[in-house]
Chain A
Amino acid sequence: MTKAGLQQLSEELGVRAPERLSELNEAELSLLTEAVKRLKKRQDVELNSALENALSHVPALLRGAVRKILFG
């Protein structure tokens, strides 16, 4: 039977987590899942802030074109 922890890790990875990780207990799997979550969260936070900040460094003349590429 698939462990709930392995399922959660798979969801965070977006692919099926390696089967051999099922040897780990729920707490251990949770530690890995939380670490991946933190990385993704960091990526999200940094990406949002980067887009805001980046545009402020783009010369006014080009800002519209860059915004169009970035956000369609």
Chain B
Amino acid sequence: MSKLTHSAEILKLAHQIHVDAGDLQFMERVDTQTITLLREHISNRLFDRHGNMFQRIASSSRLLPMGILTVIAQKAIGPFLCAQIAGHMPTDRAIEMAGRLSVPFMADICKSIDPRRVGPLLQGMPATRILEVAIELIRRRDYISMGRFVGYLPDATLNAVLNAINDDHALLQTAFYIENKATLNHIIGMLPETRIRSIINAANTNAMWPEALALMTFVNQPLSRLLGDLAVQESDQVLAGMVKALHDHDLWPEILPIVAWLSEPSQQRFINLPESREPEVLARIIQSAQALDLWKELLPLMRHYDAEGRNTLTRLAMANNQQLLNDIIDAARRHNLWLTALDLVHEFAEDHLAEVALALARQTDASLASFLKAISQGKRWDGLISLADRLSPKTREYLVTRGFSEQGDFMNRLLKAAEDAGVWDEALVAMTGHAETLLTLVQQLPENMQKSLVDDCISANPQLLDHLLPLAWQYQAWELATRLMARSTDSWRAQWPEWLAALPIDVRERVSALGQQVGLSEGM
């Protein structure tokens, strides 16, 4: 979690150079890696600049009895220098000495020691001794020192410490400052599920959600998913606290990618929490997605919204003017999430659906083909067409005759895309259940496209005539009807008298006249 990791690094730097963290506020402008590097440079400088002398002090320790060494360390050398000398001492002597120094003195040493320099010492020290020091550090609330050491302890020691410390608040704080974040995978993997749940609850009761959520961003994906799923299983009250913390600390950019890989039931619960659907929360989530290009994560989540969530989203889309719709379409294109986008916009108001259609019209030919392919593969023609159904005839007319033509002959491109994607036939078949929509769309096609539709598609799928012609007659689309009748097959022509006889008297006369124009007579 970049923001939290960054804060932790600044706090660690302040701790190292003995200044107030508030005085280092300007370091917020510097990237996290640079702060880590600066801390390493400082530590190396202190360790190396008197390296020879520290080495000689460490060597002289061989000459002296341990009792005297302990006295010298505590009374003459002090914790700050001991921290730098420790890395030069023979490991066996250092371990023996660590067992004799007072616990508070050891805790003082921890404040200045660089754990990278004393790996063998930490590996060899008895777990009981390390536990004593850990308890002292927790008593002092020196979680930064704790966190710096945790990643360097052997498993057995770590286990002993985790079992002995029942203060979940302290564990959370320590985890937040852990130097080597990769070790968290191992450490959290050692915790039983009951303990993880207890820590999650501690995060809520101690207002430590930012730290707890940071943990989820530090660990690997499977573990992050486990932690997230466990968190989302908590009570409404706990989750309300989590969402509030996410919002108050503006952590959505960091958390959205994690929510995206939670299990589906967890996603559903999380996204539909009353707190998650608050307009200002949702607006901030959308802003995060827009600013940091998190649509790939957000779009699949949004399909889980219940009716109320969708309503809020629709209101935001209206307030957000064109941008939100454009983003949704663009994300659908870039991440091939067309079906998700279709679900999402389904309940948008009519003028927004028209906006969606126009945004779609701005896509490239390849995107249009990919859109139609996605519809085909997902067998979602009904979903798509029911969107068209919801448009008023006036809006459809506007889209076909004006809106789409402003986008560079969109209908022609759409036909071509349908052809490229090989989905024409099934699209038309799917549309036959939506008579009025289909007919008004076809009627509004320019002359050349109507011809193309009839020639290319009806010829290949004569059964479509059975659906289209009665519609054309019913809606008195005489030109289209004539064109369709002209393309009719012999078998259809054989049934012409029956078709004619079934028509209402007022229509029959006109249709009969049209039939004669294309070589059909009543007596056939």
Contact = CB atoms under 8 A, between A and B. Distances in A.
Contacts of A21: 30, 34, 38
A35 interface: yes
B68 A59 contact: yes
A26 to B, nearest CB: 12
A18 B37 contact: yes
A65 to B, nearest CB: 6
Interface stretch (B49-57, B212-220, B413-421): B49-57
A15 interface: yes
Interface string A30-69: 0110011011101100110110111011110010011001
Given A20-B31, A46-B80, A62 B64 contact: yes
A39 B17 CA distance: 7
B475 to A, nearest CB: 68
Given A14-B49, A46-B78, A53-B75, A24 B29 contact: yes
B60 A36 contact: no
B38 A58 contact: no
B49 A40 contact: yes
Contacts of B56: 69-70
Contacts of A13: 41-42, 45
A36 B42 contact: yes
Contact of B77 (A36, A40, A50, A69): A50
B281 interface: no
A50 B79 CA distance: 11
Nearest to A36: B42
Contacts of A70: 53, 56-57, 60
Contacts of B68: 57-59
B76 A54 contact: yes
Nearest to A54: B76
B394 interface: no
Given A18-B38, A46-B81, A69 B72 contact: no
A31 B23 contact: yes
B19 interface: yes
Contact of A69 (B34, B37, B38, B59): B59
A50 to B, nearest CB: 4
A53 B34 CA distance: 39
A49 B84 CA distance: 16
A35 B42 CA distance: 10
B429 interface: no
A56 B76 CA distance: 9
Contacts of B280: none
Contacts of A20: 30-31, 34
A69 B60 contact: yes
A25 B25 CA distance: 13
Contact of B50 (A47, A56, A69): A47
A39 B75 CA distance: 20
Contacts of A42: 80
A17 B81 CA distance: 24
B18 A66 contact: no
B306 interface: no
A15 B43 CA distance: 12
Contact of A17 (B26, B29, B41, B59): B41
Given A13-B41, A50-B78, A69-B60, A57 B72 contact: yes
B63 interface: yes
B507 interface: no
B164 interface: no
Nearest to B76: A53
A32 B30 CA distance: 13
B66 interface: no
Contacts of A69: 56, 59-60, 63
Nearest to B26: A28
Contacts of A18: 34, 37-38, 41
Contacts of B78: 46, 50
B260 to A, nearest CB: 30
A28 to B, nearest CB: 5
A20 B36 CA distance: 12
Contact of A43 (B17, B31, B76, B84): B84
Interface of A: 12-15, 17-18, 20-21, 23-25, 28, 31-32, 35-36, 38-40, 42-43, 46-47, 49-50, 52-54, 56-59, 62, 65-66, 69-70
Given A25-B26, A53-B72, A65-B60, 14 more contacts: A14-B48, A15-B44, A15-B45, A17-B41, A18-B41, A24-B26, A24-B30, A31-B19, A31-B24, A36-B17, A40-B45, A57-B68, A58-B68, A59-B68
